[in-house]
A and B are shown apart, each in its own frame.
Chain A
Amino acid sequence: MTQLIQNLILGLLLSGVYALVAGGLTLIFGVMRVINIAHGAFLILAAFITYSLWSALGIDPLLGILVTTPVIFAIGWVTYKTVAAPLRTAPMASTVLLTFGLALVLEAVMGTIWGNNSTAIRPGYGDESFTVAGLFLPKAQVYGGLVAVLVLLALGLILTRTWLGRAIRATSVNPDGAALVGIKVTAVAALVFALGIAAAGAGGAIVGVLYPFVPGAHYQWIARLLAIVVLGGMGSMRGAVLGALIFGVGETLTSAYVSPSWATAVPYAIVFVVLLIRPQGLLGTRLRADAVAA
Chain B
Amino acid sequence: MQKVAASRRIQALAVSSLLALGVAGCGGDDAGGQSDDPIKIGSSLPLTGEFSQPGKAAEQGYEVWQAMVNEDGGLLGRDVEMVIKDDASNQNTIVADYNALISQDKVDLLIGSYSSLLNLPASSVAERNQMLFVEPAGGSPEMFSRGFKYLFFTQQATADKNSLVFAEWVANLPEGERPKTAAYPTIDDPFATPSVEGVRKVLEKAGVETVYRETYAIDTKNFDTIVNGMKAKSPELVVHGAVFEDGVGMVRSMLKADFKPKWLYQTTAPSLGAQYAKAVGPENTEGIMFAISHAPQAKTPGNEEFVAKYKEMFDGLPPEDAADGFAAGQVLQAAVEGVGSIDDQAALAEWLRDNPVETILGELKWNKDGSPIGEFLIGQWQGDGVEFVLPEEFATSDKLVQGWTPGGAGG
B-contacting residues of A (Cβ < 8 Å)? 3, 6-7, 10-11, 14, 107, 111, 116-118, 120, 122, 126-129, 131, 136, 138-141, 210-212, 214-217, 220, 251-252, 255-256, 259-261, 263-265
Contact = CB atoms under 8 A, between A and B. Distances in A.
Given A118-B248, A120-B279, A214 B220 contact: no
B47 A116 contact: yes
A251 B223 CA distance: 11
Given A7-B225, A118-B245, A136-B258, A263 B281 contact: no
A55 to B, nearest CB: 10
Interface in B148-193: 185, 188
5 contacts: A14-B224, A116-B52, A210-B221, A216-B48, A251-B222
A25 B386 CA distance: 44
Nearest to B215: A261
A34 B244 CA distance: 35
Nearest to A17: B222
A14 B49 contact: no
A264 B257 contact: no
A118 B52 contact: yes
Given A120-B278, A220-B219, A260-B185, 4 more contacts: A116-B47, A116-B52, A131-B258, A255-B216
Contacts of A210: 221-222
A139 B50 CA distance: 26
A212 B56 contact: no
B9 to A, nearest CB: 56
Nearest to B219: A220
Interface in B27-56: 47-50, 52-53, 55-56
B245 A3 contact: no
A212 B220 contact: no
Contacts of A211: 221-222, 245, 249
B48 A116 contact: yes
A129 B257 contact: yes
Contacts of B248: 118, 120, 212
Contact of B228 (A6, A217, A261): A6
A234 B172 CA distance: 59
Contacts of A136: 256-258
A260 B252 contact: no
B406 to A, nearest CB: 9
B275 A117 contact: yes
A217 B256 CA distance: 23
Contacts of B228: 3, 6-7, 10, 256
Interface string B235-267: 000000000110011001101111000000000
Interface in B88-108: 88-89
Given A3-B232, A214-B52, A216-B88, A14 B256 contact: no
A252 B281 contact: no
A117 B56 contact: yes
A177 B350 CA distance: 77
Interface in B274-326: 275, 278-281, 284
Given A10-B224, A128-B256, A255-B225, A118 B53 contact: yes
Given A214-B49, A261-B214, A10 B188 contact: no
Given A122-B281, A136-B256, A212-B279, A263 B220 contact: yes
Contacts of B252: 120, 122, 126-127
In the A-B complex, list the 10 residue pairs whose CB atoms are closest, starting with the nearest.
A260-B216, A216-B49, A127-B255, A116-B52, A255-B225, A120-B279, A138-B256, A212-B245, A264-B217, A220-B219
B356 interface: no
Contacts of B185: 260
A220 B226 contact: no
B229 interface: yes
B284 A107 contact: no
Contacts of B229: 255-256
A37 B250 CA distance: 29
Contacts of A264: 217, 219-220
Contacts of A259: 214-215
B8 to A, nearest CB: 55
B214 to A, nearest CB: 5
B174 to A, nearest CB: 33
Contacts of A120: 248, 252, 278-280
Contacts of B244: 118
Nearest to A251: B222
B217 A263 contact: yes
Contact of B56 (A3, A14, A116, A138): A116
A10 B225 contact: yes
B92 to A, nearest CB: 13
Contacts of B47: 116
B56 to A, nearest CB: 6
Nearest to A248: B222
B278 to A, nearest CB: 7
Contacts of A260: 185, 214-217, 220, 225-226
Contacts of A117: 52-53, 56, 275
B219 A215 contact: no
Interface string B344-380: 0000000000000000000000000000000000000
A96 to B, nearest CB: 19
Given A129-B257, A138-B224, A216 B52 contact: yes
A263 B216 contact: yes
B245 A255 contact: no
A51 B366 CA distance: 45
Contacts of B255: 127-128
Give the residue among A107, A118, A126, A141 with the most B Cβ atoms within 10 A: A118
Contacts of B278: 120
* Most B-side CB within 10 Å, residue of A10, A111, A136, A212: A212
Given A256-B228, A259-B215, A260-B214, A14 B222 contact: yes
